[in-house]
Amino acid sequence: MMETLQPSRAAVERDDLRWFAQVRATLALGLPLVGSQLAQMSINVTDTVMVGWLGATQLAAGVLAAQTFFLVWMFGAGFAHAIMPLAAAAQGQGDHRAVRRSVRMGLWILTGYSLLVMLPLWHTEAILVLLRQDPQVAAMAGRFMRILQWSMLPALLLMGLRSYLSALSRADIVLWATLVGAVVNGFLDYALIFGHFGAPHLGMTGAALASVATNLIILSVLFLYCFGHPDLRRHEIFARIWRPDWHDFFVILRLGWPIGATIVAEVGLFTATSIMMGWIGTLELAAHGIALQLTGIAFMVPLGLSQAATVRVGLAHGRGDPHGLARAGIAAIGVTMAFSLIGAFVFWTLPGALIGLYLDDTKPNAAEVLAVAVPLLAVAAAFQIVDGLQAIGTGLLRGLKDTRTPMLIAIFSYWLVGLPVAYVLGFVLGWGGVGIWWGLAVGLAGAAVLMNWRFYHREKLGLIRSS
């Protein structure tokens, strides 16, 4: 009897070790990506905090401008994200030429997109006025954007290089480059917004200039690393950069625009809620901006883990390893849920302290903004789990190069479910900002369920070959 049981026990032990290896591999790639996401977010937080010290009106204008910029940037980032599963699958197959082609054509598309969006960004003020925003706030946001928009090209190109490096499991350099950028941005913000260290006192203009300089610095660090590192020379991603590879160009387009649309569907929902909060009032919009920034910080954790999941699933998919693919997915979901619970706990127990970081008690209306923002953060605590689940589900599907159906799921969940619920709860039922935020939670929950259901049924749906 013992002889028949022993192999089973050994198999269980080996199985446990494989699960531990999957979790360890997810964390080894995911934590640097999380760190780089948090470092990137710290740049945005620094901008928002320091602009918030100028006053509630400046903060509201900064929120609108930043949301508009990131809505446009996020769609373009979809093409950068498309590089990741392609490069990971090629790396899993040992095809260095395919890695080079996917990265090079991705950089082409990112450059073209950046040039196309410059004109609409230049007219941000007019667009915000059409959306019934306060004319004074819209004018300030428009002036801010006319400088900030020049960071679009470097911000997208660095995302392309980041996807390439992540697919090769070289996320550490991405983290360090972004940390350098965060430190530089904080210094420039403090100097240029308030006129310290002999710099001119530029207010919001200083924050915009700091953002442009910061993105250029991060891009330069990643470019030099990719260009000069001996282990990356075999890919030659910058060799004959002018030479087209039309097949890969259109593959990136085909995968990238649904990813961009998926991201925009989610970010657009948050932007639409910012517009709704602006209808309620400037103080409510300022409170919304603070709560949104805090949830954005927390979201960087599942977002980084989602990117790690894309790479891990993409590598297994390229190797033709359905069992490794399944383990990579389950490990990513488990790790993400653990971190999401921690985020929810922090929001639930420390809302006042977190929101107070963005406010100067000596400024008018600071107490009113705090009172409005605290209930919003309580709702945010409630939807941390579903937000993490929808992020990881999306990343897992991208690793399978499945982008169009997730786009439809996102549009349905966020715009046909979440946004109407937000409007009904916020305005029809009179719940105000809290109702709008519960609409966000409902939309995220719908996406979480549908994305993860699709990954669970990946074989039945023909997304991978049956084992």
So where are the chain's domains?
29-456
pLDDT average, residue stretch 341-356: 89
Q: Comparing 92-96, 116-120, 225-229, which segment has the lowest mean pLDDT?
A: 92-96
Instruction: Write down the mean pLDDT value for the chain.
Output: 85
Reported as a pLDDT band with limits 50, 70 and 90, residue 11 is: very low
For residue 268, pLDDT beyond 50? yes
User: Taking the CB of residue 187, how many other CB atoms lie within 10 A of it?
Assistant: 16
Q: Comparing 75-79, 286-290, 441-445, which segment has the lowest mean pLDDT?
A: 286-290
pLDDT at 466: 52
Summarised one tens digit per residue, pLDDT across range 241-253 is 788 888 889 999 9
For residue 197, pLDDT beyond 80? yes
